[in-house]
Amino acid sequence: MFFKKKELEIVSPVKGKLISIKDVPDITFSEEMVGKGVAVIPEENELYSPVCGTVTTVFPTSHAIGLTTKDGIDILLHIGLDTVNLKGEGFDVKVKEGDEVKAGDLLVVADFEKIKLAGYRLETPVIICNPEQCKKLTYTKPQAVNKGDVIIKYLK
């Protein structure tokens, strides 16, 4: 008897506009140097976990969070572009390394107004850092998304 492998899902961390990673105006992301994924231009300040798993990294500057799913997929949520330069200003992280999270758990509250006023872009990449661990990746086409909408499906 054969069982069809179930596609696993990564959901949007925030309400906004889903765009192709190729359309992110930062070559580190658009040329997939960090990994494969998509980006969301956020319309709300609260960002939620796109997966169930463990918080593996909270960057000291609070602009990015690394998560690892139970099946070993490493996810990077990078809030805005070049926002490392804000040195944590405008980011209120609600989790710490080692925390177990479910998809939809609050990770960060970002002050996007402050981030924009400081001259930074809001595109928020959601990246699979070890895409070679996935047999197949499928991306949702660019569109308006709500928090929790599926943005990436993968087969492990």
Catalytically active residues, by annotation: 78
**Strand locations in the chain (E):** 8-11, 16-20, 36-42, 46-48, 53-58, 64-69, 74-78, 91-93, 100-101, 106-110, 124-128, 136-139, 143-145, 150-155
Taking phi over 0 as left and psi of -120 to 50 as alpha, with beta for the rest, 87 belongs to left
CB 11 within 8 A of CB 103: yes
C-alpha span between 88 and 144 (Å, rounded): 28
Backbone angles phi, psi at 132, to 5 degrees: -65, -15
* DSSP state, residue 140: P
Distance between start and end Cα atoms, the chain:
20
Residue 154 has which token pair? 């993968």
